[in-house]
Amino acid sequence: MIETFLFGVFPYLALVFAVAGGIFRYLRYPFTYTSLSSELLEKRWLFWGSVSWHFGIIPVLLAHLGAGLFPAQAAAVHASGAVTFLLEAAGLTLGLLAGIGILMLAGRRLVRPEAAAVTSVMDAIVLAVLAIQVMAGIALSVLYRWGSIWYLDTASPWFWSLVRLKPDFSAIHPLPLLVRFHMFNGFVAIALFPISRLVHLVSMPVSYLWRPFQVVIGNRRRKKPDPS
């Protein structure tokens, strides 16, 4: 019964809440649709933490999504053992990079007083959920090797069963507890989307690509000539 809720019901609740809550927040509180940057308070930790986090987590997320939605194509890529080894090594490296980044961002919020002063309870929850998710992913890479292969026969069928609105978690039932926790915690992060800074994921300034150039005109006073 609990497993049915965690892997057959909660994913839909998380997705519906994320979409509906995100739309409501955008319409009701549009000016909060941002990461609410604290760069002016502290910059060095934020820069290195943010760069490490984004350059690590974005490729990992794309790899998870691509393999989950296109398992046949992903299986073809893994036809070579050498390619699989390189992909596993790259995934672990990116996971470690993301882990360093999220730990730096979390440490910044705890250690730097100027950042801690503007850190809310929700900020702490989101950082904890993301840090736990990344650490669990790193642990999976180390403890259960070749996850990029068995992922195709376990997580991918489960994802597609959710897409078809016929949830079937029989493929992931035999998986270790840590693996199933990693899957569930991913949807917890999705559920936090509309009530946290995570909304900045869909508030990227894409319109900057085609908006007119901004013309800046200086108004600096000239020095008066010396009468002598």
Rounded-to-integer distance, Cα 173 and Cα 79, Å: 26
Residue 51 CB coordination number (10 Å): 13
What residue segments make up the domains of the chain, in order of their start?
2-205
Give me the percent of the chain exceeding a pLDDT of 70.
Answer: 85
Distance separating alpha carbons of residues 76 and 73, to the nearest angstrom = 5
SS3 167: coil
* Geometric angle at alpha carbon 71, from 131 and 135, rounded to 5°: 10
Span 88-102, pLDDT tens digits: 999 999 999 999 999
**pLDDT tens digit sequence for 59-98:** 999 999 999 889 889 889 888 888 889 999 999 999 999 9
- The whole-model pTM stands at 0.81
4 contacts: CB under 8 Å, gap ≥ 6:
169
In contact, 171 and 153? CB cutoff 8 Å: yes
Tens place of pLDDT for every residue, the chain, 228 residues? 788 999 999 999 999 999 999 899 888 887 777 766 665 666 777 888 889 999 999 999 999 999 988 988 988 988 888 888 999 999 999 999 999 999 998 888 887 777 777 778 888 899 999 999 999 999 999 998 888 888 998 999 999 999 999 999 888 988 999 999 999 999 999 999 989 888 877 766 555 555 565 566 666 666 666 665
The single residue listed with the structure tokens 């019901």 is: 9
User: According to the CATH classification, is domain 2-205 in 1.20.950.20?
Assistant: yes
Going by the DSSP 8-state scheme, the letter that residue 210 receives in this structure is: T
Q: How far apart are CA 46 and CA 109, in angstroms?
A: 10
